[in-house]
Amino acid sequence: MPIAIDVPDWFDADMDIHVQLTITGAGQVFVAAPVVDPQVSWSLLSNLLSFGCTDGISSGMTQISKIFLQHIVDVEVRPFVTQLLVGIMNSVISTLEQSDPQHRTYVMTSLLFSAARGLTITACPVTPLQ
């Protein structure tokens, strides 16, 4: 996600943010963010006119923004995505239970997400103990 950073009285900086979420589940939904990678940079002209100082500043801004963005992803994004997926999972399980002629109780056995296949939820009926 590219973002332009307005820097008063100087050249604007550019920030590229890459966030990767992994979505899995076996009995419950699990969302992780193994990659939160911001990169801050200024133009070559900015670097030349600052005698190379903007390179150091961009490195520092990248490190600070990484901590800040990781917090946002952990506190806001992951719980939001998890809540959405739990709702979808509950809807799928409810549909399976209502469609089952025996009205058995179902549980999610796996949840996988891939860019190629999308969201795949596997649920099976609970086997009663005998």
- Give the start-to-end residue ranges of the domains of the chain: 2-125
Quickly count: other Cβ atoms within 10 Å of residue 76's Cβ: 10
**Residue-level length of the chain:** 130
Beta carbons within 8 Å of 57's beta carbon, 6+ residues apart: 42
Rounded-to-integer distance, Cα 30 and Cα 111, Å: 9
CA dihedral sign of residues 93, 98, 99, 101: positive
User: Per-residue pLDDT for the chain (130 aa), expressed as one digit of tens each?
Assistant: 666 666 666 666 778 888 888 888 877 888 999 999 888 777 776 666 767 677 777 777 788 888 888 999 999 999 999 999 999 999 999 999 999 999 899 999 888 888 888 888 889 998 776 5
**Cα dist. 113→29, 107, 116 in Å?**
11, 18, 9
pTM, to two decimals: 0.72
